[in-house]
A = this chain, B = another copy of it.
Amino acid sequence: MDFTPRDPNWENRVRSSYAAQAFMTNLGAELVHLSPGAVDLELKMRTDLTQQHGYFHAGVTSSIADSAAGYAALSLFAPGFGVLTSEYKINLLNPAAQKVLMARGRVVKPGRTLTIAKADVYGLDEGVHVHVATGLFTLVSVPGVKD
């Protein structure tokens, strides 16, 4: 879908807000794609991101899915509104232990107060592209919150 940002400064705003998410720095997650209503994040496998069987913890998968969906939403917000996640649901389709985990956040329906987005997470290795998770997210635009 084609979206038109309401904030001429949308790109700087998303990038600087993302840079301030200390938890994404903890996970080593980088913003690798940004366009209106669309954000991709990637991180690399690290032992301290795993659960007991050596797969990425579902919480890691969900965390980058949530940030990808949230910044996809923020890219379409009017100036002066910040983004908070209201709720989400995620299906974990395959356990993942690939070298790279990528989350693709895409806005499904923008709105003044509520924005609905989806996110899909993939595990990437040489010649490997596994669908790890798919989720739906509700993001709220909060007036007076800096983002």
Contact = CB atoms under 8 A, between A and B. Distances in A.
A21 interface: yes
Given A47-B22, A49-B26, A66-B58, A89 B87 contact: yes
Interface in A16-75: 17-18, 20-26, 47-53, 57-60, 62-64, 66-67, 70
Count of chain copies: 4
B52 A59 contact: no
Nearest to A1: B131
A78 interface: no
Given A22-B51, A58-B66, 8 more contacts: A17-B52, A52-B147, A58-B70, A59-B60, A62-B62, A89-B90, A91-B136, A94-B109
Interface of A: 17-18, 20-26, 47-53, 57-60, 62-64, 66-67, 70, 82, 84-95, 108-109, 113-114, 116, 118, 131, 134-136, 138, 140, 145-147
